[in-house]
Amino acid sequence: MSLKKNILALREKKAMVQKGGGDAAIEKQIAMGKMTARERIVALLDPESFHEYDLFVQHEERNFGMDKKELAGDGVITGTGTIYGAPVCVYAQDFTVMGGSLGLKHARKITKIMDLALKLKVPCIGINDSGGARIQEGIGALAGYGEIFYRNTLASGVIPQISVILGPCAGGAVYSPALTDFVFVVENISKMFITGPNVIETVLGEKISQEALGGARVHAEITGNAHFYAESEKECFEQIKKLVSFLPWNNSQKAEAITPVAPTFKKNIEDIIPADPKQPYDVRDVIKVLVDKSDFFEVQELFAPNIVIGFGRMDGETVGFVANQPLYLAGVLDCDSSDKASRFIRYCDSFNIPIVTLEDMPGYLPGVDQEHDGVIRHGAKMLYAYSEATVPKMTVILRKAYGGGYIAMNSRHLGADFVFAWPSAEIAVMGPEGAANIIFRKEIMEAADQDAMRQEKVQEYIDKFANPYVAASKGYIDAVIEPSETRSLLLHALQVSQEKEDYRPAKKHGIPPF
């Protein structure tokens, strides 16, 4: 009988804590258009799969009246569960409990579940919704943040780390998401900044809303901090689930393969790309023709759209795609697109995901702003990331491959395993107009009709160099292929690369141009 009594007492105790900050606070959360922390976990994980730990953890702060305050779970829910059967560790900050503020015990719950994720070698997903450091705890809160960052760094490249911003995430709190692999934001709900609108108004006298300073759209499109942008929390959770389905549990595995389905996108691959190299097209259409089920899951869709990155499947296996996008800024490489692509390449390499590169780029973006923003330093990241990667690396040159861009986009010289070129490929040191102006400057200057002579020389250059055969004659590309062969050749290349091993000199770590 007494055990029964104990069980009832446990149930009551659990129910108390599971209410979080109480009915009034929950109502307020709902009024803000947000789900509660517990609802979010349920929406994200497989039904009935969530198991919570550290429910009864309490803070130990004695100052500022905190000794009289009991905080349910110290403002954060932690536990394990599954997504499509894949195990994950998860934590969700509870805004209804003292604004989700982070104290030492709150942080220790998070680091405990992170340590567990690292030991179990499973992905860790953090849902952030917090007003920031718990001021009453002072340095304790800062210590907590530091301990989280440290673990984020240790786990980086070992287990997938995902951050979901579903509320404010300000000050020091922003750095945990920034250290993780993928950041999800939701319109009108996510807010991230180092110094908030109040500080900016005090210092600058500038009034700016939270949304305009660090809202979802700003981070998805301008800063590049966010990788996935959703209109609603529900859409956001679907995106997370889809992402997890493309990833392995950890860096010693490959992502789980699924039954392959043929591409469903019905456009003829030969009709997608205009013959005139100056005309744009959407390179995502090419990817859709290549991947299983034509299902391409784009990462950082809104940020630096002049390069496209994302996951697709080929023969059921996860493949990372990096493609120049002629639709935006003619597909040039610049600071942002180099940053975006190189981090993705390193991600794929860490988690054993082969990389397919589709190349059609006219060069680097010219401009004082680019040079002064450090396009040299940022552009070098691409060279580093591709050279460093030891996963299977394939390149298909669709049209233009000029100058430094040709080298940067996974060329043979950076260690590509397979380089294919369509017959429309132009592999040269620069575009025909620019090259002719330099090589034939004297002839053009001395001609009676300079324009006619220039045209003639441009044509001469096009005939000689604006094709894939010069590079093919030197063995820099392995095969000139018909566009319709692309998918079957890539499938073959992936198949024969299954057991690829490539060695790099032993080192503690490299020094990429961060």
Chain positions contacting another protein, by CB under 8 A = 200, 203-206, 208, 211-213, 215, 217-218, 221-222, 277-280, 304-306, 326-332, 336, 362-363, 365-369, 372, 430-434, 437
- Distance from C-alpha of 417 to C-alpha of 384, rounded to nearest angstrom: 16
Question: Which of 100/432 has CB closer to another protein?
Answer: 432
3 state SS of 286: helix
Phi and psi at residue 114, in whole multiples of 5°? -70, -40
Q: Bridge-partner residues for 185, per DSSP? A: 165, 229
Give the three-class secondary structure for 303. coil
467-502: string of b/e by CB count within 10 Å (b at 16+)? Answer: bbeebbeeebbbebbebeebbebbbebbeeeeeeee
- Are 176 and 139 in contact by the 8 Å Cβ rule? The answer is no
75 and 100 Cβ atoms separated by less than 8 Å: yes
Name the residue nearer to another protein (CB basis): 149 or 328: 328
Q: Which is nearer to another protein, 328 or 469 (CB)?
A: 328
Distance of alpha carbon 432 from alpha carbon 425, whole angstroms: 13
Shortest separation between residue 432's beta carbon and another protein, angstroms: 8
**Distance in angstroms (rounded) separating the CA atoms of residues 360 and 461:** 19
Location of structure tokens 């995106």: 239
CA-based angle 503:291:87, to the nearest 5? 70
> Minimum distance between the CB of residue 403 and another protein, rounded to whole angstroms?
9
* Cβ 236 to another protein shortest distance, Å: 18
Is 202 or 495 the residue whose CB approaches another protein more closely? 202
Question: By C-beta, is 131 or 331 nearer to another protein?
Answer: 331
Shortest Å distance, C-beta 293 to another protein:
28
Query: CA–CA separation, 286 vs 280, rounded Å?
Result: 13
Among 233, 72, 76, smallest CA distance to 164 is for 233
Q: Which residue has the tokens 């935006």?
A: 328
CB of 364 to another protein, least distance (A): 8
| Between 429 and 496, CB nearer to another protein | 429
Question: Looking at beta carbons only, is 120 or 213 nearer to another protein?
Answer: 213
Query: Least distance in Å: CB of 511 to another protein?
Result: 29
CA pseudo-torsion sign 400, 296, 477, 266: negative
Q: Which of 147, 111, 230 is nearest to 182 (CA)?
A: 230
Task: Between 137 and 336, name the residue whose CB sits nearer to another protein.
Answer: 336
Smallest gap, in angstroms, from Cβ of residue 124 to another protein?
31
Residue with tokens 């304790």: 140
Pairing of strands 228-230, 182-186: parallel
Nearer to another protein, 67 or 231 (CB): 231
**Longest distance between any two alpha carbons in the chain, whole Å:** 110
Report whether 341 contacts 322 (CB < 8 A).
yes
CB of 333 to another protein, least distance (A): 10
Residue among 77, 81, 69, 114 nearest 95 (CA): 77
* Least distance in angstroms from the C-beta of 303 to another protein: 9
CA dist 294 and 284 (Å) reads: 10
Nearest to another protein of 57, 218 (CB atom): 218
Extract the tokens encoding 172.
Answer: 């020091």
Joined tokens for residue 254: 């490959």
Closest approach, Cβ 445 to another protein, in A, equals 16
User: Shortest Cβ distance from residue 197 to another protein (Å)?
Assistant: 11
Nearest residue (CB) to another protein, 353 versus 466: 466
What is the CA 262 to chain-centroid distance, rounded? Answer: 26
Residue closer to another protein (CB basis): 304 or 385: 304
Minimum distance from residue 346 beta carbon to another protein (Å): 23
